[in-house]
Amino acid sequence: MAEQKRDYYEVLGIDKNADDAAIKKAYRALAKKYHPDMNPGDAEAEKKFKEASEAYAILSDPEKRRQYDQYGHAAFDGAGGPGGFGGFDFNSADFSDIFGDIFGDIFGGGRRGSRGTGPMKGANLRTSVRITFEEAVFGVDKDIELTLKDECTACHGTGAKPGTSPETCTKCGGKGQVVFTQQSFFGTVRNVQTCPDCHGTGKVIRDKCPDCRGTGYIASKKKIQVSIPAGIDNGQCVRIRDKGEPGTNGGPRGDLLVEVVVGRHPIFQRQDENIYSTVPMSFAVAALGGEIVIDTVDGKVIYDVKAGTPTDTKVRLKGKGVPSLRNKSIRGDHYVTLVVQVPDKLSHEARELLKRFDEETGDTLNTAKNVTSGGGEDTGSKNKKKFRK
C-alpha cells in the first residue's frame, strides 16, 4: 500500500492563508536544513527535502495551489511527471530565486548581491592591555603599541604602480561577481559568487606599486593612547573608532577593540561594583573594643570596633567600592570581614597574664581537670589517653 502524502501546508509548517512571502520563507528554511549536500548519506533528510520541495512547487504556483486547495493531492495524481514526487512535473517550477540563496550558503558563493564594488568598512582589530586593580577602579590612560595599515603615499591606495591605474576585471566585467551554474534535483540552477580574480573589487592591478606591493597600504608600528574608564571589569573591551583595518573602495576604517585584563590584588576581591576583604583584629580589641585600620582603594580608614565583637563579623563601608561605568558618581560598597587574630608567640609574662585572665573568665584551661576531680573512675583520663594515641 502506497504511503499517504502529508498535507502540503503541514509539510511547510504554514497556515492555509499564508501569502507567497511566508511560503518562500518556510521552504527556504527547510531546504537549507535538509539539503542532501548538508546531510550527506542521510536518506531521511533527503526524503524531507524532496517532500518540502514538492510542497513548495505546488503552493508557490497560484494555479496549482488553487487546484490543490480544491481537490487535494488527487489534482496531480497520474500526471506522469518525473522525479519520484508522486508523478508531479517539476520542470515548470521556478526555484532559481530561492536556490540562488540556498546554494550560495551551501557552496560558499555568498548570497545574491551580498558583495559588490561599493565602499566597505574595514575589519575590526583586537588587542589587550593589562592594568592593576586600582587602575580598573579609578580609570587610567594607557599607551599600547600595535601594527596599523595606512594608505600608501606612492599609489594613494590604488595598489597600482605610479603612472598606471587598475584595470576593469575582464572575468566579471567590473561587477565584482560572477554567475555560475549548479546542478540540483530540479536541473540547472544559476548562482552568484564573488569574482575570484578581483575578489569583488571589479578591478585588476597589472603593474603593482613597488612600495606597497599592490596592497595599497603600508604597515607600521604606532602608539595609541587608550582611555580606560573607571569601573571597568576584567574581560571588558574599550572600542576605539577608526583604528582598525582600512576599508575598501573608499569605505571607512574598522574599529580597534582593546580587551582589559585586570591583575589580581593581594587583599581585595571584586564582585560587580562591590569590594570584599578580610581584616585581622586582636583578641583585646574584639573583647574590649577599640580602633583598627582598614585598607581601602581610597586609602586607610579608621574603624571603631565595639566591645564583644565576635570573629567573622562583617562590616559595610558604604561608597568605598567600584564606580559604576554608567554613572561615575555612583559607587558600590566595601564589605570587610573582621577575624580575631590568635598570636602564635607569647612571652613568659604574657602567658602568665593570659592564664590569670582565663582564671577570672571561666578557667577554661582547667576544664578537663575539673571533669575528673569529683572522684570515682577517671573516665576522662582514659578518653584523653586514647585520644592522644
What's the CATH class of domain 125-262? Answer: mainly beta
* 229 has pLDDT over 90: yes
Q: What are 22-64's pLDDT values in tens digits? A: 998 899 888 888 877 677 778 888 888 889 888 888 998 888 8
All 3 cell numbers of residue 154?
A: 606612492
Provide mean pLDDT across the span 171-188: 72
Give the pLDDT confidence score for residue 195 in this predicted structure.
85
CATH code 3.40.50.10490 for 269-341: no
Q: What is the pLDDT of residue 252?
A: 87
Instruction: State whether CATH 3.40.50.920 applies to domain 8-94.
Output: no
In this prediction, residue 281 has a pLDDT band, given cuts at 50, 70 and 90, of very high
CA dihedral 77, 78, 80, 82 (to 10 degrees): 30
For 140-177, what is each residue's pLDDT tens digit?
999 999 988 888 888 888 888 888 888 888 888 888 88
Q: CB atoms < 10 A from the CB of 100, how many? A: 19
Q: Where in the chain is the domain with CATH 2.10.230.10?
A: 125-262
Query: Which DSSP state fits 324?
Result: P
Q: Is the pLDDT of residue 376 over 60?
A: no
pLDDT of residue 353: 87
Residue span(s) of the chain under CATH 1.10.287.110 come to 8-94
Contact call for residues 251 and 200 (beta carbons, < 8 A): no
Give tens-digit pLDDT for 86-118: 444 544 455 545 555 555 454 444 443 444 556
**pLDDT, greater one: 75 or 349:** 349
Average pLDDT of span 304-309 = 92
Backbone φ/ψ region at 213: left (φ over 0), alpha (ψ -120 to 50), beta: left
